[in-house]
Amino acid sequence: MTEIKAPIISLYQAGFSLFKDACLSAHERFVKFPAIILRLLALCLLVGMAVTAHAETIDELYPAVKTFFPQADRFGALEGKPLAAAIYQGQRLLGYAFLTSDIIRIPAYSGHPINTLVGFDLAGRIVGIRIVEHQEPILVVGITEERLQRFARQYQGKSVFDDIVIGSGVEGQVAIDSISGATITVMVENATLMRSVRRVAESRGLSPPPPPAPVTVDAMTASGKEKPAADNVTASASAPGKSAPSAAVTHAKALSSVSHAAPKKNITASVQDEPTWKGVWRKRSFQIAVLVTGLVVLTLVLVFQDWLAKRPRLLIYVRDGYLVFTIIFIGWYSLAQLSVVNVLIFVYSVMHHFQWEGFLIDPMIFILWAFVAVTLLLWGRGVYCGWLCPFGALQEMTQQLARRLGVRQFEFPEMVHERLWALKYIILLALFGVSLQSLVQAERLAEIEPFKTAITLRFQREWGYIFFAGGLILISAFNRKFYCKYLCPLGAALAIGGEFRIFDWLRRHRECGRPCQVCAAECQVQAIRKNGEINANECHYCLDCQVTYWNDQKCPPEVERRRRRERSVRAREMVRGMEPIIGPSGLFDQDQAGCDACSRREPK
């Protein structure tokens, strides 16, 4: 306490002197101004000394560390390189605790690292972990504290040198269970935790255990050999009557080895230091291959949309099959549901510290966003909203089922419909404004998107969220894609990007809207105005209007062309039937070869 009181007394004296100087006359203050400045600088220096004189220990900063070492009665401060705090019971060193953000920072799904408090003992066993800071959307709202702690408990008792993997592993690896709906997040957390804890353990003198000897313990005992030296050291340390090395000496040696000992070559260093996203891409190679194949198929559909629109029955099979693929594979299996949170994170990253690694961490999301960026320039918003959005596809299939069951459809009047369009843009603007102040709070408010409940977590969530998502799906049975049209902030963001599209691939007749209203009346998302113009910001690219465009039984301009062709055919057949009576008409001369027909037309 003496070293703490001395700076405080000096601080008091300096403050009193400064107060006395302030009370001097104007002339005296002018004369003594340089002295006041010097004393003020000294005061600032003393304040810094007083603060550093009492460095906070790790248990004061993070009380959760006490649960890692229940028998501990003394906790050190974060020190050394890399930073770690020593944990004691009396004079006995129990282990170390540290924060992963002080060791290694791997961007997670949100683009920010996950800061985790980790503790391990001198035997190299992990005794506890606790996530203390993160900005992961799935962890902010979606994953309960109980599920998070259940995941963390899987690390307890495992060695810091174990090769721990998420999901299934091969021989030599230790597999732990993932958190449903947060696979990418826990993979990043696992990589961050294991790399950092291994680095701290090695810096404090711990080394990987030697490979198991080919001879068993029973065989060694039978041959009269002693146990391995490591066992003897452990036994001597714990045997009664024998004193173990003091904690101060052990800790000092560990810190000394950090700065003086040459680092040992780790044969797995290249694998451990590999960017996390590369391992994720390798592990999800099958999903990547299937997704890329699906995107190629969709590209062919878009390029040959006219050919498909002329074959409406085939188009129905192709579209419905693709929507099922989107729901099951892209959504529920791969969890590749895009979100407005992705947009907010991207904008935040561009404004602060952009890193590609943060976006490459989820290959499915990255590939989808790359494809959507291209389609925004070529086709607009509708390609994603109409074909690749799992929740949108779920609404679409629900509405189709309702129509087949004879459920009556309801649509808002045009005036109300156009006013409701603005809601999603207002929601997007509000979320963007909040994200400038707090990205975590914006992620919480982004729960207006039912994607996490219906797709990412597959309805395995609290009842309030399930009722909200289920209610929107139920409404879509009466009003096609109600949420997409009026509430989706992601759709609003894509519509803004779609303003930069280069081409207009949807065909229109000159008569569309003047006076024909067939397509406008049939468009269930009401994206066609009365003047026949297609609002590309609201179009979901279902191609229904293109089917009508080529339908010569429904589209009035095409019907008129078909009737003209039919009248022409009937007239030609009538003339052909009269030729034996009135002579050659010359209308069929093009069917004859050579110039024989020319002589037939020459006057006699």
Q: Cβ distance 364 to 287 under 8 Å?
A: yes
Which of 433, 422, 485, 484 minimizes the C-alpha distance to 454? 484
pLDDT band at 591 (very low <50, low <70, confident <90, very high): low
Q: Cβ distance 435 to 110 under 8 Å?
A: no
Which of 526, 539, 542 minimizes the C-alpha distance to 415? 526
Q: Which range (23-37, 169-183, 582-596) has the least confidence?
A: 23-37
Long-range contacts of range 430-435, CB-CB < 8 Å, 24 or more positions apart? Answer: 431/340, 431/344, 431/489, 432/344, 432/347, 435/344, 435/347, 435/348
How high is the pLDDT of residue 405? 93
Q: Structure tokens of 543?
A: 């191609």
How high is the pLDDT of residue 20? 52
How high is the pLDDT of residue 269? 42
How high is the pLDDT of residue 319? 95
How high is the pLDDT of residue 218? 52
How high is the pLDDT of residue 138? 66
Asked if CATH classification 3.30.390 holds for the domain at 58-203, the reply, yes or no, is: yes
393 has a pLDDT exceeding 70: yes
Angle of helix 390-404 versus helix 312-325 axis, rounded to 10: 130
Q: Cβ distance 553 to 560 under 8 Å?
A: no
Over residues 8-29, the mean pLDDT reads: 50
Strand 74-75 relative to strand 92-99, pairing: unpaired
Residue 228 or residue 168, greater confidence: 168
How high is the pLDDT of residue 226? 46
> In angstroms, rounded to a whole number, what is the distance separating the alpha carbons of residues 171 and 173?
6
Residue 1 or residue 336, greater confidence: 336
Q: Which range (419-428, 471-480, 557-566) has the least confidence?
A: 557-566
How high is the pLDDT of residue 45? 58
pLDDT band at 588 (very low <50, low <70, confident <90, very high): low
565 has a pLDDT exceeding 60: yes
> In angstroms, rounded to a whole number, what is the distance separating the alpha carbons of residues 304 and 310?
10
Q: Which range (181-185, 236-240, 499-503, 512-516) has the least confidence?
A: 236-240
**Mean pLDDT, the chain, integer:** 79
Distances (CA, A) of 439 to 85, 430, 504: 31, 12, 36
pTM of the model: 0.71
Q: Is 170 exposed, middle or buried (0-12, 13-18, 19+ CB in 10 A)?
A: exposed
The domain segmentation of the chain, as residue ranges, is 2-53, 58-203, 284-505, 556-601
Which of 299, 278, 302 minimizes the C-alpha distance to 288? 278
Over residues 548-572, the mean pLDDT reads: 84
How high is the pLDDT of residue 431? 95
> In angstroms, rounded to a whole number, what is the distance separating the alpha carbons of residues 158 and 119?
12
